[in-house]
Amino acid sequence: MRRRVIRVALAATLVSLVLVAVPLAIGIRISFFADERAELERSALAAAVQVGPDFSANDPVELPRPTTDGQLAVYDRTLTLRAGTGPQQADDSTRAGLAGHVVQGESAGSLVVAVPVASSEQVIGVVRASSPISAVRTRIALAWLAVLGGAVIALLIGITVATWQARRLTTPLESLARISDAVAAGDLSARAEPSGIAEVDALGNAQNAMVERLGRVLDHARHFAADAAHQLRTPLAGLRLTLETGQTDPDADPRRTVDDALRQTGELQRTVQEVLGLSQLRAAEPQGPIGDLFAEAEHRWHGLLAERGRRLIFAIEDQVGHRVVPLANSRQILDVLLDNARTHGHGTVRVTAHDVLETTAIDVRDEGSITADVPDLFRRGGTTQGTGIGLALARNLAESSGGRLVLASSSPTVFRLLLPDQQPDGSDSIQLGQETGDVGQAITAGSATAGPTPRSGSRGAGGRLLGSRRPAGPAC
């Protein structure tokens, strides 16, 4: 492209030079001949003034020096040379001068101007001035050389400007090509820099926007694949545990094992559908009672925790027992938190639903402790244990439902999910963002105790027990 720009610029320069230089050269030739004839005419007129009225009576004449390199002579009416330098025999231009008007012509390679000399309204002689045509042509050639030199200089300047402009135009495009190659090679951080050329900058901005959108799409695809693998791992583990139990336990009821496997397969299918829904914008998320949410979670996670000899307790305060929550996102968040407690926590796991400033709070507590920084816990890939996906996914799900997920206590570990109160029609009765100050205080209030913990098997003050499990024994 650079060569094409240079060729176009040079062609335009050459056309301009031709259109200017050719008329200029013709004008120089015409002008130089006209100037020379005018100079000869002035010399002849100056000499004619020196011719007296007694010229016909052979009065001598003293002619001035010619102003040109030519000849200056005066002739009488018989065309005889009386003074000056010139041909002995008068030429045609000199003869025409006897007619009483100025004559311009050429003779024997010279420019000739004949001026009549009059006395008493009669022509008594002719003054002839001449100069060689070769001298005029020499001056014209020198002028043409000057014009040619100017044209060459202009052409060189045009080449320089064309090269600079071609480089200025093509360098940003070459940069865009390199950036496109880098993006094609997988470097999505490559960005086009401003070039100062509006059209190229518009192209660069469009490419940058495309690369940014492509990066977001690829990040979303990678995150979705990781989230799907993370969320499907636990249901698959539960299904495998059920099948292995039915295979290894001789006292197991095959029909019950198959029923449990089919139920867990249905849950796995629902989890797949919910995970697929994470990659799409859904208009409205199904709502349901918080008791149904806890019952499903207790059914899914009891066996997995009992396998490790750990208790799982669910409790709901009376203040929130009638409330509804977004089932799909809340189910996924609880799965992440319970899996985190099972994998990295210790002791009994308690899941408690209680009220915080008219906001539904769900605490997931175990007897372990966390030493990592809070920002790293919820940053994808920020933890040193596990994949670093689950908590980041859970926080995103909570925020997509209008809630928040925070670490309420690090020792013992308590994760708190705050959900806006949902009306039966699915609308929010309170927005967490409108109560930033009060809710912010409520997030960390009671960090040492993750909400109320009703006594097992009895109705506690202001709360009720949903379910509890004994430590896993040989029969689990």
| Domain end (from 258, 281, 304) | 281
Which two three-digit tokens encode residue 120? 């008493």
Task: Read off the pTM.
Answer: 0.44
* Average confidence score pLDDT of the chain: 78
Q: How far is CA 386 from the centre of its chain?
A: 37
287 and 435 in a single domain? The answer is yes
Per-residue model confidence as pLDDT tens digits over 412-424: 999 999 987 665 5
* 112-152: pLDDT as tens digits: 999 998 887 788 888 888 889 988 899 999 999 999 999 89
Amino acid (1-letter code) at residue 200: V
Among 260, 281, 302, the domain boundary falls at 281
Lowest mean pLDDT among 104-118, 142-156, 236-250: 236-250
Same domain flag for 320 and 458:
yes
Whether 249 and 267 share a structural domain: yes
The 10s digit of each residue's pLDDT in 52-63 is 777 776 777 777
> What is the residue range of 26's domain?
2-150
Residue 436 confidence (pLDDT): 37
SS3 string, 128-139, reads EEEEEHHHHHHH
User: Is 474 inside a domain boundary?
Assistant: no
Is the domain of 250 the same as that of 394? Answer: no
Q: What is the total count of domains within the chain?
A: 3
Residue 76 falls within a domain, yes or no? yes
Q: Is residue 185 part of a domain?
A: no
In a domain, residue 165? The reply is: no
Q: Report how many helices (DSSP H) and strands (DSSP E) the chain contains, helices first.
A: 10, 13
Residue 149, phi then psi, degrees to nearest 5 = -60, -45
